Structure 1
Amino acid sequence: MADYISIKQASELWGISKARITKLCQEGRIDGAVRNGRFWCIPENASKPADMRTKNSKQSEHSKLLLPMPIGISDYKTASTEYYYIDKTLMIKDFLDEKPAVSLFTRPRRFGKTLNMDMLKTFFEISDEETSVYFKDKAIWSCGDKYTKHQGKYPVIFLTFKDVKYNTWELTLHKISDLLSKEFLRHPELSDSDKCNDREKKYYDRIADGNADLIDLSAALGNLSAMLKKHFGIAPVLIIDEYDTPIQQGYMYGFYDDAITFMRNLFSEGLKDNNNLSFGFLTGILRVAKESIFSGMNNLSVYSVLDNKYSQYFGFTKNEITEMTRAYSVPEKLDEICEWYDGYVFGEQEIFNPWSVINYFSNGCQPKAFWISTGDNSIIEEILEQADSELYDNLNSLISGKRITSYIDTNVIYPEIKKNPSSIYSFLLITGYLKYTRKDIANGNDYICELELPNREIRYAYKKEILDKLSGIFPQNLTIPVQEAIYKKDAVKLRELLCKIMLNSISSFDYSHESFYHGMILGLLVTFESGYRLTSNRESGLGRFDIQLMPRNSKLPGVLMELKSTKDKNDDLKALAKAALEQIDEKRYDTEMKAEGVDDIIRIGIAFCGKTAEVEVE
């Protein structure tokens, strides 16, 4: 009779989690495995299954190909064993080399913050499960005992506020209370610990049972860390993911002061001069230091998109993307991925949007703007309602492919954004809508940066989430007819549509200068981008054309537009539109298109005055 080993023994032998081996037994993928009551018995000489759906350094490119993409997976154990996982564990080494007391990482949404925090939790946390198996095939394990000795040695407090999205303070506080209750319940050993006194145990019960008042809740992190240190004899690690979500909700829905006051007290108890803490990690989108949430916290180290440290751990690097294309046997797709999802710069590191890349592979390598609508951008909409003409011109320049230069405040906070519309650039950079191509230190921690759009996906994002809002949201039922009118060379219909759009979406201030009309047309034409390269104010022939739509394939016509505007209602708009059309030929703006082999070119002259327009087409 064959000798058998337990699932635990097989886990240690093969370096696979017990849960995964149990599933493989249930699927009949381990030869000779038999069930004995509630347990599985595995033949001692059984071979490790060939397709373990786990990726390690010795794994073949073919087996990598079998792994699905971790869309929406923020659990490290699952992501690293059942999906294509890009190894970010050297982040642990970098941290342990310096051991800052409290680290705050600010990054745009969907750039891997929650998954990285769960990785840290899995690495550091004391557990009944042998969690080292999740790291033995990762880069951190080859770094030596200096680092691996920390694995599984600390109690961990873990909170994520990413789903605290309510429109009242009462509901927000109730959700936070529920999160704290669940985290206390994750440490049931404290309820009857002989290391904790009766007062502490009663406090534990109040939080765990959801019967705590505001003062009890504010002290939760400080008290929980003290109890954990008493019980385990070692201070815990505190991890807080998306800490600023309740603050953003408070700003948008009118309970900002309540949110700030509570979060300040909660973090002060848990992070400021807390001797019962080994170290802490926080993630968010904004730093919001000026709000005094972290007032007096000299132990806080902040790592933003402008800093070099940890820059390669949030998002994918060029080398990682290249390896992915090889693993999935699509190296020819690298240029397309770069065009759509590359372009971010964190510190000095070139970064790809990870959410969009994994969706791209999961979508059969068909590009789309996957990142759009993955978060709430109502703050951007509110800011743009206050936009002045200079801000409008700059955003139009960005979508035209140009760069702008702006002061970047690394401490940008929600109230100041509305008071100072120019701070929109800081907000857009931090939230992932801009990248910097150059940065120079201005004052203290602030910079003067040269800014541009990162990639093609963000151009779509500007159309959907920014430029539409800036122009009063162009009605979607009118943008398609605009395209049809252009293709049909229907000047009457195009004029009618432009006038209707202006009548419904702009104010008298908006059309005080020609740049508004230019920006409005650019916003409408972004919908052409699937078939065209949209450029504006670029030299061609004997001058600079206003707008050009260069076709991406030979089946589409090229489009050139020249715009004119006047404030004098007595001017002949028809004649002005005709002059604009003639200028296209006189200045030979079609030179670039003809050099590209485009012979079918639609030429359009448009003249504006107030909310009226005239159009000439040939």
Structure 2
Amino acid sequence: MKREQDRGKIWWGKLPCAIQSFEEMRKDGYAYVDKTDLIWEMVHDAKVQFYARPRRFGKSLMISTLKSYFEGRGDLFEGLKVEQKRQAAGETEWVKHPVFVFGFSASSFNGKNDVYEILNGFLLRYSEPYGLESDAPIDERFKRLILTAYEQTGRRPVILVDEYDNPLTDTLHPDQQELHQFYKRELRGFYKVIKECTEQLRLVVITGITQFNDLSLFSGINQLRNLSFDPKYATLFGITEEELLENFTEEINRIAERYRLDFDGMVAKLREKYDGYRFTERDVHVYNPQSIIFAFDACRLEGFWASTGTSALLATVFPTYDYDFSLLQQPVSSTYEDLKCMDITRKNPIPLLFQSGYLTLIDYRVMTDAVQLTFPNHEVRTAFWRVVVPLYGSGRDDSGNTAPFIASLDFGNLPQAMDRLQGLMAGVAYSTVARKKIEKEGGDTREGLYEELFQTALYAWFSALGMMVRTEVHSLKGRSDVEVQIGDKIFIFELKVGPMEYTAQDALAQIKKQGYASPYLGQGKQITLIGVSIDTRQETRGQMEWTSEELQ
């Protein structure tokens, strides 16, 4: 059967765009990356399990798969890996259990009754078949549902909670702390029932973005296991490159034809754009499943995850953090244990960035618990800096100059580009980041402070538009401030920031004297050297002069 979204295309297939139902995926013939061997492992693992992964990584599909498993829908699992697991274990009959799914992902939370309304809606639906009344508090009704389902069916119920933390991440901003704490209290009573009914339950699986250590919601559930970092489940969410090549060869060939690349070249592009996520000590990487599926469906390499991921969360929360974002131009260090908690001091956003998918592991040392993190891929790096860019402007309209600035560079109109840059630079000294940095340092007298701000702002602007950009690039004689590659064009910037003691010509002379362009010579690239002098004097702060020279 042809899907509506495929009409008019020269090809059509069963790509599971935004399909989160295992039953729908199997019955309607969508392409399915078989993870059911890991589903079987989950079924036979701890009684109460927790998994944290970024949004759009397949958590809802995993919950739906477990639902079908415990509803005894063996017909949906025919031909999948789980059959081999069950056969080896001597499991012949599919046993049906009462299954109760509570999902928080489909709603936004900004009112006092929002959590109650979600829980009440689910409980009304699940209680009706058992003839239960709805005249008691949520926790009492939940407990009554579990006990009654067990008594009437003789089977222990299964509880599945999808995106448990959505009410809490929606209210992370300091202005919403009263509502945030209210939601915590309401949810704590709901989860307390799981502890009280553990003996009557077959399995509990809870998913979310953030770790729960500091949320204290589940403190009473003694048997809860956080399996987010378990190497056994490293590939439960996301798509490995092996799975990509096994299941989507036709799609890779199709998109390769559009971009005029061979098969291996296209795989390399996909890897750069969407791969790179690593969540456990096991050195295995996965692709973002939504991004790669949407890219195949659109036959385009675009930033799909950011439009449906957690950018809104970061845009709301980041301005409240006291953190030097320029540190993220290079890999950052942390500990495995720190990554499991939210930082309530608002000084360290690394755990939030890791849990929400903006940073990923690149190294892990078991003996010391030390980890290094960086952006997983091009898509995420671009999405992150788009969130950060407004923090480097004096107002909301400043970021509107960024795209025309890049376009002017690309089309060779350097005077127009530098006019745009003047407008961008004018706001940096008065930006949110600048105010926080100056306040933290007790003034703006430190040498190099404004140079750091302007350099990071340039990096953010270029990165937000998907450009290849590097800062503090080392050469044999020194290091350039910012280097940008747009196609076959290389732009090397040297910034002189201060009370106009050094001119733009001085900056250009430094680029030439230090040989910053040497690594690119003889490659057939168009190289443009740009010297910039930016004024930090209070009355003329942000004003600049520039000069340039092209190399062939």
Identity of aligned residues (%): 21
Q: C-alpha deviations, 1:453-507, integer Å up to 9, x for none? A: 1000011111222343465666332113433554423287256313443366354
Correspondence 1:353 to 2:288: yes
Query: Is contact 1:495-1:615 (8 Å) kept?
Result: no
1:140 to 76, 82, 87: 82
Change (3 A) 1:484 1:433: closer
CA distance, structure 1, for counterparts of residue 121 and residue 82 of structure 2: 34
CA distance, structure 1, for counterparts of residue 74 and residue 234 of structure 2: 25
Q: Name the structure 1 match of 2:487.
A: 552
Change (3 A) 1:250 1:494: closer
Correspondence 1:85 to 2:32: yes
CA distance, structure 1, for counterparts of residue 408 and residue 535 of structure 2: 18
Which TM-score applies when normalising by structure 2? 0.84
Q: Name the structure 2 match of 1:605.
A: 532
CA distance, structure 1, for counterparts of residue 423 and residue 112 of structure 2: 44
2:210 to 286, 289, 307: 286
Correspondence 1:517 to 2:446: no
CA distance, structure 2, for counterparts of residue 345 and residue 456 of structure 1: 15
Q: Name the structure 1 match of 2:62.
A: 116
The one-letter code sitting in structure 2 at the alignment partner of 1:483 is I
Correspondence 1:561 to 2:493: yes
Q: Name the structure 1 match of 2:259.
A: none
Q: CA deviation at 1:272?
A: 4.6
Q: Name the structure 2 match of 1:163.
A: 106
Q: Name the structure 2 match of 1:431.
A: 356
- List structure 1 segments (4+ residues) > 6 angstroms apart after TM superposition: none
Q: C-alpha deviations, 1:115-159, integer Å up to 9, x for none? A: 011001001115xxxx21110111101223437446343221111
Aligned length: 505
Matches within 5 A, 1:516-595: 516-529=453-466, 532-540=467-475, 542-553=477-488, 557-566=489-498, 571-572=499-500, 575-595=502-522
The one-letter code sitting in structure 1 at the alignment partner of 2:428 is M
Query: Is contact 2:146-2:200 (8 Å) kept?
Result: yes
CA distance, structure 1, for counterparts of residue 148 and residue 286 of structure 2: 41
Matches within 5 A, 1:417-456: 417=344, 419-422=345-348, 424-440=349-365, 447-456=369-378
Query: Is contact 2:143-2:197 (8 Å) kept?
Result: no
Q: Secondary structure at the match of 2:503?
A: helix
| Deviates further, 275-284 or 488-497 | 488-497
1:412 to 334, 341, 356: 341
Q: Name the structure 1 match of 2:267.
A: 334
CA distance, structure 1, for counterparts of residue 270 and residue 104 of structure 2: 31
Could you tell me which runs of 5 or more consecutive residues in structure 1 were left unpaired when the two chains were aligned.
Answer: 1-23, 28-64, 192-203, 207-211
1:321 to 244, 250, 255: 244
Q: Secondary structure at the match of 1:219?
A: helix
Q: Name the structure 1 match of 2:41.
A: 94
Change (3 A) 1:163 1:469: farther
Q: C-alpha deviations, 1:427-469, integer Å up to 9, x for none? A: 10111000111224699xxx43211110000111112223434
Q: CA deviation at 1:267?
A: 1.0
- CA-atom RMSD in angstroms: 2.7
Q: Secondary structure at the match of 1:80?
A: helix
Query: Is contact 1:468-1:523 (8 Å) kept?
Result: no
CA distance, structure 1, for counterparts of residue 376 and residue 19 of structure 2: 25
| Deviates further, 250-259 or 217-226 | 250-259
Correspondence 1:373 to 2:373: no
Change (3 A) 1:329 1:351: closer
Query: Is contact 2:472-2:482 (8 Å) kept?
Result: yes
Q: Name the structure 2 match of 1:464.
A: 386
Q: CA deviation at 1:359?
A: 0.4
Change (3 A) 1:134 1:593: same
Change (3 A) 1:157 1:175: closer
Which TM-score applies when normalising by structure 1? 0.76
Task: Give the structure with higher Rg (CA).
Answer: 1
Query: Is contact 2:290-2:304 (8 Å) kept?
Result: yes
Q: CA deviation at 1:602?
A: 4.2
1:403 to 305, 308, 331: 331
Q: CA deviation at 1:521?
A: 1.1
Q: CA deviation at 1:236?
A: 1.1
CA distance, structure 2, for counterparts of residue 325 and residue 594 of structure 1: 39
Q: Name the structure 2 match of 1:301.
A: 225
CA distance, structure 2, for counterparts of residue 588 and residue 494 of structure 1: 27
Matches within 5 A, 1:21-36: none
Q: Name the structure 1 match of 2:49.
A: 103
The one-letter code sitting in structure 1 at the alignment partner of 2:179 is F
Q: Secondary structure at the match of 2:294?
A: helix
Q: Name the structure 2 match of 1:616.
A: 546
Query: Is contact 2:392-2:427 (8 Å) kept?
Result: no
Change (3 A) 1:387 1:577: farther
Query: Is contact 1:104-1:302 (8 Å) kept?
Result: yes
The one-letter code sitting in structure 2 at the alignment partner of 1:285 is I
CA distance, structure 2, for counterparts of residue 483 and residue 351 of structure 1: 31
Q: Name the structure 2 match of 1:16.
A: none
Q: Secondary structure at the match of 2:304?
A: coil
CA distance, structure 2, for counterparts of residue 476 and residue 358 of structure 1: 30
Change (3 A) 1:450 1:565: same
Q: Name the structure 1 match of 2:441.
A: none
Q: Name the structure 1 match of 2:143.
A: 222
2:161 to 215, 240, 252: 240
Q: CA deviation at 1:600?
A: 4.2
Change (3 A) 1:66 1:272: farther
Q: CA deviation at 1:373?
A: 2.6
